[in-house]
Amino acid sequence: MYALIACSGCRMNRIIDLTAETSACPYCGTGIKNETAAVKFQSEDQEEVRQALLSLSGPVPEKKVRKDFDPISTLAYRFDHCADPEVKLMMLAEELTKILGSFSAEDIEEIAPGKSKEIIRILSAECIISETEPGRYRA
């Protein structure tokens, strides 16, 4: 039998196996006696309990995750705040190559909207990037 509970330490929802006597919270480490847990939902079917947990937690807001962890967003921020236009373009080419392996005009558009053509023209002219296949570039 599985149960959905809220941790008494950190309030995170988690799943416990009621056949075990005790369990520890994977988030904060608080240990509990399973029989004393405030069960929100229980079922023989672990998948059912997992679904209940998911419906409680809701989907992870994708926007936020992207903003915090997306290397492209981080690069866009650095690009915006770099004063030297040449350093800026070289950084863009090198970082995009590091993150993506090779990149397209579309990838540049995400960082410098409306400027990809100009940027690719300059970077190609200065031999900072080369076209590995039609429409794909790398530093």
Q: With respect to Zn ion, which residue has the nearer C-beta, 31 or 71?
A: 31
Q: With respect to Zn ion, which residue has the nearer C-beta, 13 or 73?
A: 13
Residue 137 class from Cβ within 10 Å (0-12 exposed, 13-18 middle, 19+ buried)? buried
How many positions of this chain bind Zn ion (CB under 5 A)? 7
> Does 28 sit near Zn ion (CB under 5 A)?
yes
Tokens representing residue 74 in the block: 């981080």
- Give the helix/strand (H/E) hosting 16: strand 13-17
Q: What is the closest distance, in whole angstroms, from the C-beta atom of residue 25 to Zn ion in the complex?
A: 3
> Does 87 sit near Zn ion (CB under 5 A)?
no
Interface region with Zn ion, contact rule CB under 5 A, candidates 6-14, 31-39, 58-66, 79-87: 6-14
Interface region with Zn ion, contact rule CB under 5 A, candidates 3-11, 35-43, 61-69, 105-113: 3-11
Per DSSP, the residues of 86-98 read: HHHHHHHHHHHHH
> Does 57 sit near Zn ion (CB under 5 A)?
no
Tokens representing residue 84 in the block: 């030297």
Interface region with Zn ion, contact rule CB under 5 A, candidates 7-15, 43-51, 82-90, 125-133: 7-15
Alpha carbon 40 to chain centroid, angstroms: 29
Selected from 3, 16, 25, 93, the binder of Zn ion by CB under 5 A is 25
> Does 27 sit near Zn ion (CB under 5 A)?
yes
Query: Per residue in 5-44, is it b (16+ CB within 10 Å) or e — as a string?
Result: bbbeeeeebbbbebeeeebebeeeeeebebeebeeebbee
Binding site for Zn ion (CB under 5 A): 7, 9-10, 25, 27-28, 30
